[in-house]
Structure 1
């Protein structure tokens, strides 16, 4: 999804579109982009890169009311170049489902409706995923291997990452999601990067 953009317009053709967000790095799970609200828009969309049709699992646009409260914007779903039978998956709040892009440069978005134009303060999105990531409130166990597996520690996730003390340098590691995860893959850390095997 790197290189994808988020656009906002007052016309359905997006001829007057402003770019309100750019995916500049590799996104993971639910990714947030803060938007500086400049003006009101009726049509909002994600436009995939011209060289990629990676599926989109979630797409949410938010505004902020006069009291500073974050509000999810709702509207009629619009799209081009996607599997229309799966369009609702991009808006169902479930990152395990996705809307498949059929063509590079596909678009998915919402029409807020006549007289419902709004400023945008935040975009939240997720690429298609198998949910093989750290989930909030799940219990995890981290193991290291020498001639057998040794439990390093247990921790409940408070967000999308975990920290463990006492991890042996240069060791092969395995993280187990004890709450509901089933996929496991060994890894190690080299130069502060996670290397999968």
Structure 2
């Protein structure tokens, strides 16, 4: 990691249950804007960045968020470290249970801006069990975001697949993220993302 990127202050393996060194649950990056808001970014799975080594996605995230935030924390639907999503392996029962709790706990904190940027993770990996585990975690997260009644500021850089997923920030055509909310698709019987309009807060508060 270059000298300018030595703001990574926490590399949390969370070695409990059956979690091993090939898993990474979060990467916390502290900027020089302590007075500004904090942001958490949800993506598909981690690459090899840590407090000593950067990667393309981490560097892009630093460039994207450092101007407007005091810190950035990246969370992933799968904690397994790989640069090739097709090589993702399923989580054990305990690992999957812990990961789901961890993702939901981290991404439903109203002290952070929350950015959903997973891309179409079911399209990007071949293993069916991996797809199912990530989808189940993602749907549980959206369910919590919809019904927890907290003041969560939820964002995406555009939406794909009938608004199911937020576009990965490095691939988005939009110059900036926009507010979104969670809705329910009666046709597909799943939680999806919807554009946010300010009047929705007024209606909700009535």
**TM-score band, normalised by the shorter chain?**
under 0.3
Alignment TM-score, normalising by the size of structure 2: 0.24
Q: Which has the higher helix share?
A: 2
Q: Which has the higher strand share?
A: 1
Pair member with larger Rg: 1
